[in-house]
Amino acid sequence: MRWYLNDLSLQGQFNSVQDFETAIRAILSARMQVVQLRLNFFSARTLGNRPVLASLTFREVMQRSRDADFRRAVLSWIDRNGPFAEDDRLPEQDDYFEYNGIDVTDSGLGEAARRVKAMQSVATFSFPGGANPFDITPLYVDHGLHEDRMGRYAVENLWLIDQLRGAAFGASIAPMSWKALVESARERFPRLRLPNSIYEDERLAREPFDAVIRDRVISLLGYLDLYMSNRQPNGAEGIIAQQIVRDHFVGDRALFSGESPTNQRQFLRELTFSDPDDSGQTIFAHWHGKISRRYFRLHFEWPVPAGATVLKVVYFGPKITKS
């Protein structure tokens, strides 16, 4: 898991040097407490140039700080030690990303969007307030020029230091087995039903554990959980849920799709699973999330029944519909 500081969220919104120093001290404290944040909390090298107050940049505020130890620690972080997003930038052929009309290509938010596009587990941390507020989640980042959009990606966003610290603590021990992945996902995604039968399935059990597949499973589950979080008890979809369906359930390159009618008929038995909440019932789960590595798939109940409050995930493992 990686976190990217959304440098564009610094918009000169702080009322005083003291208020900004308080916010930065909280970030430094979290980095000291959680090793994941020391290693995987990335910022842009241009962070120091962002406006903090109406007339002062991040670096200028730090250079004027009377606390020499604090000043050295912060300047060392933003100028020398990082880690910096530019030093490990994900290659992208059509490298233009935009958020709310703002070019974010070379920012922390842009790099986070590139990695969401690559199905990696990332999130941003933003400073709240400002003319263009970033205290919302997810942040929808458009890929491509306005006249030639190639996709939209939902970037999980945090804006409270306790959120960041909690997320980093939760990711400190990454699951290293299929069983641990399912158990961890249950805690992380409370709107999904993930039964033991997933890791007990011999098709998955005989497959060597793979951290890349783990991260992509988590990404797919994150979209499904976010969808359920914006779905009303009567089944009505909110704006975010509708956006997820448009972005990730429609089109040739969609992350989620149903099997073809031919495969539904040919693999009817293999795509039918026990209902995790009623062993006497079954679920025909031909809808799946796609994982290109080793041709894995994640199958789930879709469409979600109108009164359901959780989405049932019934399988992940090697592709079932192999001819």
Q: What tens digit of pLDDT does each residue of 244-275 get?
A: 898 899 988 899 999 999 999 999 999 999 99
Which spans in the chain are helix H?
17-33, 35-40, 58-63, 68-76, 108-117, 161-170, 178-188, 197-200, 202-205, 211-229, 239-248, 261-266
pLDDT band at 314 (very low <50, low <70, confident <90, very high): very high
pLDDT at residue number 323: 66
pLDDT at residue number 175: 86
Distance separating the N- and C-terminal Cα atoms of the chain:
35
Percentage with pLDDT > 90 across the chain: 65
Write down the domain spans for the chain: 2-167, 174-318
Average pLDDT, the chain: 91
- Our separate counts of H helices and E strands in the chain read 12, 17
- Closest listed residue to residue 290, CA positions, set 260, 322, 248, 262: 248
pLDDT at residue number 235: 87
Per DSSP, the three-state class of 168 is helix
* Tens-place pLDDT, residues 108-130: 999 999 998 887 889 999 999 98
pLDDT at residue number 16: 93
Report residue 199 as tokens: 């890791």
Spatial distance between the Cα atoms of 139 and 156, rounded to a whole number of angstroms:
7
Cα distances (angstroms) measured from residue 11 to each of 44, 57, 108: 15, 10, 15
Q: Which residues of 141-151 are buried (b: 16+ CB within 10 A; e: fewer)?
A: bbbeeeeeeeb
| 134-140 average pLDDT score | 91
Q: 28 and 69 in contact (C-beta within 8 Å)?
A: no
pLDDT band at 147 (very low <50, low <70, confident <90, very high): confident
pTM of the model: 0.62
Spatial distance between the Cα atoms of 291 and 311, rounded to a whole number of angstroms:
19
What's the distance, CA 220 to chain centroid? Answer: 9
Which spans in 102-160 are helix H?
108-117
Q: 247 and 309 in contact (C-beta within 8 Å)?
A: no
Q: How many Cα atoms sit within 13 Å of 213 on the Cβ side?
A: 23
pLDDT band at 25 (very low <50, low <70, confident <90, very high): very high
pLDDT at residue number 172: 57
Q: Which residues pair with 289 in a beta bridge?
A: 256, 298
Percentage with pLDDT > 70 across the chain: 98
pLDDT band at 224 (very low <50, low <70, confident <90, very high): very high
pLDDT at residue number 94: 87
pLDDT band at 173 (very low <50, low <70, confident <90, very high): low
pLDDT at residue number 285: 98
Per DSSP, the three-state class of 313 is strand
Q: Which residues of 89-107 are buried (b: 16+ CB within 10 A; e: fewer)?
A: ebebeeebbbbeeeebbbb
Q: 62 and 23 in contact (C-beta within 8 Å)?
A: no
The dihedral of CA 156, 158, 162, 168: what is its sign?
Answer: positive
Q: Cβ-count burial of 47 within 10 angstroms (0-12 exposed, 13-18 middle, 19+ buried)?
A: buried
pLDDT band at 179 (very low <50, low <70, confident <90, very high): very high
pLDDT band at 34 (very low <50, low <70, confident <90, very high): confident
* Tens-place pLDDT, residues 291-306: 999 999 999 999 999 8
* Tens-place pLDDT, residues 184-222: 888 878 899 999 999 999 999 999 999 889 989 988 998
When comparing pLDDT for 239 and 180, which is higher?
180
- Closest listed residue to residue 141, CA positions, set 60, 34, 243: 243
